[in-house]
A and B are shown apart, each in its own frame.
Chain A
Amino acid sequence: MIKDITIGQYFPGNSVIHRMDARIKIIMTAVFIVMLFAANSVWGLLVGIAFTILTFIISKIPGKLMLKSLKPIVPIIIFTAILNLLFIRTGKAYFEWKFLKITDEGVDTAVFMMIRIICLIVGTSLLTYTTSPIDLTDAIERLLSPLKKIKVPVHELAMMMTIALRFIPTLIEETDKIMSAQKARGADMETGSLIQKAKALIPVLIPLFVASFRHAEELALAMECRCYHGGEGRTRMKQLHMSIVDLYGSIFCVLFLAGVIVINIVV
Chain B
Amino acid sequence: MSSFIEIKDLHFSYVNDLEDPPVKTEVLKGINLNIEKGEFVAVLGHNGSGKSTLAKCINAINLPESGAVYVNGMDTLDENNLLPIREKVGMVFQNPDNQIVATIVEEDVAFALENMGVEPNEIRRRVDEALKTVGMYEYRLHAPHKLSGGQKQRVAIAGIIAMKPDCILLDEPTAMLDPHGRDEVMKTVKMLNEQGVTIVLITHYMEEAAQAQRVVVIDGGEVIMDNVPKKIFSNVETMKNLGLDVPQVTELCWELKKAGYDISTEIIHEDECVKKLYEMLK
Alpha-carbon separation in the docked complex, A223 to B112 (Å): 8
Q: Is the CB of A222 within 8 A of B98?
A: yes
Q: Is the CB of A219 within 8 A of B120?
A: no
Instruction: Indicate whether A134 reaches chain B with its CB closer than 8 angstroms.
Output: yes
Instruction: Indicate whether A182 reaches chain B with its CB closer than 8 angstroms.
Output: no
Partner of B99, one of A163, A173, A219, A235: A219
Alpha-carbon separation in the docked complex, A237 to B116 (Å): 12
Within 8 A of B (CB), among A219-267: 219, 221-229, 233-239
Instruction: Indicate whether A177 reaches chain B with its CB closer than 8 angstroms.
Output: no
Residues of A within 8 A of B119 (CB): 235
Partner of A224, one of B61, B87, B106, B118: B61
Chain A residue at minimal CB-CB distance from B87: A227
Within 8 A of A (CB), among B86-110: 86-87, 90-91, 93, 95, 97-104, 106-107, 110
Q: Is the CB of B143 within 8 A of A219?
A: no
Residues of B within 8 A of A229 (CB): 83, 115
Q: Is the CB of B61 within 8 A of A166?
A: no
Within 8 A of A (CB), among B181-221: none
Instruction: Indicate whether B123 reaches chain A with its CB closer than 8 angstroms.
Output: yes
Alpha-carbon separation in the docked complex, A166 to B101 (Å): 7
Nearest-CB distance from A113 to chain B (Å)? 36
The bracket for how many chain B residues form the interface is 35 or more
Nearest-CB distance from B151 to chain A (Å)? 15
Q: Is the CB of A162 within 8 A of B103?
A: yes
Within 8 A of A (CB), among B143-187: 143-145, 159-160, 163
Alpha-carbon separation in the docked complex, A236 to B61 (Å): 25
Knowing A134-B103, A226-B160, A227-B87, say if A235 contacts B118 (CB, 8 Å). yes
Knowing A221-B93, A235-B123, say if A215 contacts B98 (CB, 8 Å). yes
Nearest-CB distance from A161 to chain B (Å)? 10
Q: Is the CB of B117 within 8 A of A235?
A: yes
Knowing A169-B145, A218-B93, A227-B163, say if A234 contacts B103 (CB, 8 Å). no
Nearest-CB distance from B152 to chain A (Å)? 11
Within 8 A of B (CB), among A152-205: 162-163, 165-166, 169-170, 173
Q: Is the CB of A222 within 8 A of B107?
A: no
Instruction: Indicate whether A214 reaches chain B with its CB closer than 8 angstroms.
Output: yes
Instruction: Indicate whether A124 reaches chain B with its CB closer than 8 angstroms.
Output: no
Residues of B within 8 A of A166 (CB): 100-103, 144-145
Instruction: Indicate whether A132 reaches chain B with its CB closer than 8 angstroms.
Output: yes
Alpha-carbon separation in the docked complex, A215 to B98 (Å): 6
Instruction: Indicate whether B137 reaches chain A with its CB closer than 8 angstroms.
Output: no
Residues of A within 8 A of B120 (CB): 235-239
Nearest-CB distance from B211 to chain A (Å)? 24
Contacts A219-B98, A223-B101, A235-B123 supplied; 10 other A-B pairs, CB < 8 Å: A163-B101, A165-B103, A166-B101, A222-B98, A223-B111, A226-B112, A228-B115, A229-B115, A235-B119, A235-B120
29 A-B residue pairs with CB within 8 Å: A133-B103, A134-B103, A162-B102, A165-B103, A166-B145, A169-B143, A218-B95, A219-B98, A219-B99, A219-B101, A222-B99, A225-B59, A226-B90, A227-B163, A228-B112, A229-B83, A234-B114, A234-B115, A235-B118, A235-B123, A236-B114, A236-B123, A237-B106, A237-B110, A237-B114, A237-B123, A237-B124, A238-B107, A238-B120
